[in-house]
Amino acid sequence: MAGPRGRALLALCAALAAGGWLLGVGAQEPGESAAGMRRRRRLQQEDGISFEYHRYPELREALVSVWLQCTAISRIYTVGRSFEGRELLVIELSDNPGVHEPGEPEFKYVGNMHGNEAVGRELLIFLAQYLCNEYQKGNETIVNLIHSTRIHIMPSLNPDGFEKAASQPGELKDWFVGRSNAQGIDLNRNFPDLDRIVYVNEKEGGPNNHLLKNLKKIVDQNAKLAPETKGVIHWIMDIPFVLSANLHGGDLVANYPYDETRSGSAHEYSSCPDDAIFQSLARSYSSYNPAMSDPSRPPCRKNDDDSSFVDGTTNGAAWYSVPGGMQDFNYLSSNCFEITVELSCEKFPPEETLKSYWEDNKNSLINYLEQIHRGVKGFVRDLQGNPIANATISVEGIDHDVISAKDGDYWRLLVPGNYKLTASAPGYLAITKKVAVPYSPAVGVDFELESFSERKEEEKEELMEWWKMMSETLNF
């Protein structure tokens, strides 16, 4: 009889005409009809957040609006361009935008690196708007967060893929269309595979952090890297990020390192040295998302294997092996701890569901942000009070070090416990300190390192003193 498609088309026509008429008449009266249009078009709107999909121009406009509303605490910048020339836009929120304040940790959210996994992209736009609104309302949590953190939000790392995915007609989007960038590269398999190197080093000896020393040159010369990947790598190297999350879709879980199996098998729990804190971080996201942490939630698809999921979290490799992913790249090339969050069973759900995804994830997003203020943090300086950059901070019992940033500042995320922290730098004598770490806030521990030459001078002086004393006593 009459197909549902027919009905749909007619409904489309009907609303189209009604809308079209309104727009047509409105052409002559900009002010009034613009508002009328806004009412009609913004199907669901709350406090300036419009819960609808944003294509590239709308994404840009949304970020510009946030900036215009909160010029004192925000700044927009770009990390590079996609293959098709779209800017990889980032909005930064902090009390001193554009400036790294010494001791202030840096956080990032990256969404939509798979172009057809759309929920993350939208959530991050909503988040930017939300943080701005709440800040202006005087929401204490948000105000403190923005004053004490530098938050970077990149709604889409793959704007080209998103356009492709979004251009599909109708509601049901293909599982793969728009996933990769415009060159057909899956960005989450495109990062240098540092896991492989680390696994070899584990057996034969070698570092497992800050690999790829001469990074910039290698990155720029590597023809296999997509422009988006290159942009992100530079970004990670330039800013001393401490904590990050990478938003995806297609399932509902918070995933942590390592992503690649040690043995090369399809799945096998492969823990990294910071397994404890990562589990805690993953939980800090999932526990605030009712759907993600629901123990009786059925898997997204009937035959999915979610046996590795615990409390809405999973080790990456235990779920399935992913080589060349951004998450592990962060951990192994920089100080940044990153988890991968899968936000939705459906990769590109219908627009009307966006509001409920926001409701489900709002608290998780904020809570995860707050995790940055955990563990130990401080400065590494020399005896004159000058900062020592690239000093190594190691923790006894955890085989993974962080290094201090340009101002000598460092941040070391840790679960509660008693630790011995050692700061060392070439040409300086290492110092070890004992620290008792609570759940939060971060404990401040500063180091003043004595350089070898200073010590030599000291020793020389001591010797002179002793000689003087001896000569006076013995009269020579």
Partner 1 sequence: MGFRAAWALVLLLPGGLIHGFPKPRGVEDKSLHNRELSAERPLNEQIAEAEADKIKNISPPENTPGETNYSFVDNLNLLKAITEKEKIEKEKQSIRSSPFDNKLNVEDVDSTKNRKPIDDYDSTKSGLDHKFQDDPDGLHQLDGTPLTADDIVHKIATRIYEENDRGVFDKIVSKLLNLGLITESQAHTLEDEVAEALQKLISKEANNYEEELNKSTSRTENQAGKTPGKVTLKATTQNGFTNRESDETISNTLTLANGLERRTKTYSEENFEELQYFPHFYALLKSIDSEKEAKEKETLITIMKTLIDFVKMMVKYGTISPEEGVAYLENLDETIALQTKNKLEKNATDNKSKLFPAPSEKSHEETDSTKEETAKMEKGHGTLKDSTKDSSSGPGGKTDTPKEKTEAYLEAIRKNIEWLKKHDKKGNKEDYDLSKMRDFINQQADAYVAKGILDKEEASAIKRIYSTL
Which positions are catalytic?
342
> Contact, 193 vs 327, CB < 8 A?
no
Near partner 1 in 119-178, by CB under 8 A: 136, 166-177
Q: φ and ψ at 320, to 5 degrees?
A: -165, 150
Closer of 213 and 224 to partner 1 (Cβ): 224
Least distance between partner 1 and beta carbon 328 (Å):
15
Near partner 1 in 85-104, by CB under 8 A: 87, 89
Closer of 14 and 383 to partner 1 (Cβ): 14
**Residues contacting residue 346 through CB under 8 Å, at least 6 positions apart:** 249, 250
For the chain, give the number of residues.
Answer: 476
**Closest alpha carbon to 165 in 112, 124, 230:** 112
Near partner 1 in 258-297, by CB under 8 A: 266-267
Rounded Cα distance between 74 and 209, Å, is 32
Near partner 1 in 344-373, by CB under 8 A: 348-352
Near partner 1 in 366-425, by CB under 8 A: none
Least distance between partner 1 and beta carbon 264 (Å):
11
Q: What is the b/e burial string over 9-33, where b = at least 16 CB atoms within 10 angstroms of the residue's CB?
A: eeeeeeeeeeeeeeeeebeeeeeeb
Report how many residues bind partner 1 under the rule CB under 8 A: 105
Least distance between partner 1 and beta carbon 448 (Å):
38
Near partner 1 in 315-334, by CB under 8 A: 320-323
Near partner 1 in 217-256, by CB under 8 A: 250
The stretch near partner 1 (CB under 8 A) out of 65-73, 202-210, 355-363, 389-397 is 65-73
Closer of 291 and 389 to partner 1 (Cβ): 291
Near partner 1 in 11-40, by CB under 8 A: 11-25, 27-40
Q: Which two tokens stand for residue 272?
A: 């990294």
Figure out which of the listed residues 49, 66, 232, 421 binds partner 1, where binding follows CB under 8 A. 66
Q: What is the b/e burial string over 374-413, where b = at least 16 CB atoms within 10 angstroms of the residue's CB?
A: bbbbbbbbbeeeebbbebbbbbeebebbbbbbebbbbbbb
Rounded Cα distance between 244 and 254, Å, is 12
Give the number of other CB atoms < 10 A from CB of residue 172: 10
Closer of 325 and 378 to partner 1 (Cβ): 325
Q: What is the b/e burial string over 295-331, where b = at least 16 CB atoms within 10 angstroms of the residue's CB?
A: eeeeeeeeeeebebbbbbbbbbbbbbbbbbbbbbbbb
Closer of 81 and 234 to partner 1 (Cβ): 81
Figure out which of the listed residues 1, 223, 436, 474 binds partner 1, where binding follows CB under 8 A. 1
- Does 77 interact with partner 1 (rule: CB under 8 A)? yes
**Closest alpha carbon to 292 in 281, 282, 305:** 282
Near partner 1 in 40-59, by CB under 8 A: 40-41, 43, 48, 52-53, 55-58
